Structure 1
Amino acid sequence: MSDPSETFATPRVAAGALFLDEAGRILLVHPTYKDTWDIPGGYVERGESPAAACRREIAEELGLDRDPVALLSVDWAPSDKEGDKLLFVFDCGQLGDDTERIRLAEDELDRWEWVDLGDLDSYVIPRLARRLRSTAEGGPRYLEHGGALSST
């Protein structure tokens, strides 16, 4: 008799932080190890909740002590190349004066920038652009490959 757990999904889980400025622009960071930009965040560690991972990644990547405010989206994003992923995006509020306290993890990030929603395609991969646009429409949202479920 086969073990039914052999067919269970075992996705990698990641958590991202969505920060806005007063103009509604999104904080993007540029990782040193790839050509495109991203939102702050990373993979959830064993035994860690997605919200706790988001908080940890904010501290590690930006040097800020901030808690996620609310869940904005969960995105099911399977990939033949990278395997199944479950990606959480959390509202982390407006940074305001905290931008002066950003201290990038220099071994991981080399710069950050505020980006208008309409300019995302010039910075991030298409799936992340779709995810951020879908998230901006209001949340919480369940997404697949960065987009809302079709209504067919």
Structure 2
Amino acid sequence: MTIPSPLSDPSDLSDYDRSLPRKRVSAGALFLDGVGRVLLVDPVYKEPWEIPGGAVEEDESPRDGAVREIEEELGLVRPLGRLLAVDWTGPRPGRSEGLTYVYDGGPLSPAEVAGIRLPADELRAFAFVEPALVGARLVPVLARRVGAALAARAEGRTAELREGVVVPDAVRG
């Protein structure tokens, strides 16, 4: 559920708030089939493959953004499980820094898989890929993110990532 913004105009923000940096935010879900393979999608607007999800809109929570994107991309309407990972990626040419949230989509039933409908203007295809082989279809940072999300799912925890690499817990004194 998207919460309506009480701000009708960005100029309604305080001077302090307007001075703060803005980050790109995206969210997606880690879906598996009955034998533990990872669902990947092939977007028409960029290379290479990725997990289902996309940009979080203004005044939308990351979880709501992931649910909306999954419905738009796959036609799946289902609740998502717990947060598996949050990944910070630094700026690079043509892109600002960003945060990506990965939720546990859980296993898809054969009926859910059969019901997947891809919008032709967004996705070319989908495939279930063995976890050890996802790196062949994903950019390195996303392959690391998926691997960390799979490990977090198996261990019942949430992973904090930087460029797809798990950030060690801070030393407690």
TM-score for both structures, normalised by structure 2: 0.81
Q: How does 1:19-38 map to 2 (within 5 A)?
A: 19-38=31-50
Gaps of 5+ in 2: 1-14
Q: 2:125 is matched by which residue type in structure 1?
A: R
Cross-structure match for 2:109: 96
Q: 1:96 is matched by which residue type in structure 2?
A: S
Is the contact made by 2:29 and 2:105 (CA closer than 8 Å) also made in structure 1? Answer: yes
Q: How does 1:10-25 map to 2 (within 5 A)?
A: 10-25=22-37
Please identify, of 3-12 and 111-120, the stretch whose mean Cα deviation from structure 2 is larger: 3-12
In the alignment, the residues of structure 1 paired with residue 69 and residue 158 of structure 2 have an alpha-carbon distance, to the nearest angstrom, of: 21
In the alignment, the residues of structure 1 paired with residue 63 and residue 87 of structure 2 have an alpha-carbon distance, to the nearest angstrom, of: 15
In the alignment, the residues of structure 2 paired with residue 142 and residue 41 of structure 1 have an alpha-carbon distance, to the nearest angstrom, of: 19
Cross-structure match for 2:159: 141
Aligned length: 150
In the alignment, the residues of structure 2 paired with residue 115 and residue 39 of structure 1 have an alpha-carbon distance, to the nearest angstrom, of: 11
**RMSD of the TM alignment (CA)?**
1.7
Could you give the per-residue CA deviations for residues 1-29 of structure 1, whole angstroms, max 9, x where no partner exists?
xx665763311100011101111110000
In the alignment, the residues of structure 1 paired with residue 161 and residue 30 of structure 2 have an alpha-carbon distance, to the nearest angstrom, of: 16
Q: 1:141 is matched by which residue type in structure 2?
A: A
Cα offset for 1:127?
0.1
Q: Which has the larger radius of gyration?
A: 2
TM-score for both structures, normalised by structure 1: 0.92
Q: 1:25 is matched by which residue type in structure 2?
A: R
**In the superposition, relative to structure 1, how do residues 137 and 67 fare at CA in structure 2: closer, same or farther (>3 Å)?**
same
Q: Does residue 116 of the first structure (1) align with residue 130 of the second (2)?
A: yes
Gaps of 5+ in 1: none
Cα offset for 1:96?
1.3
Q: Taking every aligned residue pair, what percent have the same amino acid on both sides?
A: 41
Q: 2:54 is matched by which residue type in structure 1?
A: G
Q: How does 1:39-78 map to 2 (within 5 A)?
A: 39-78=51-90
Could you give the per-residue CA deviations for residues 80-118 of structure 1, whole angstroms, max 9, x where no partner exists?
221110000000111112001000111100100001111
Cα offset for 1:67?
1.5
In the alignment, the residues of structure 2 paired with residue 31 and residue 134 of structure 1 have an alpha-carbon distance, to the nearest angstrom, of: 22
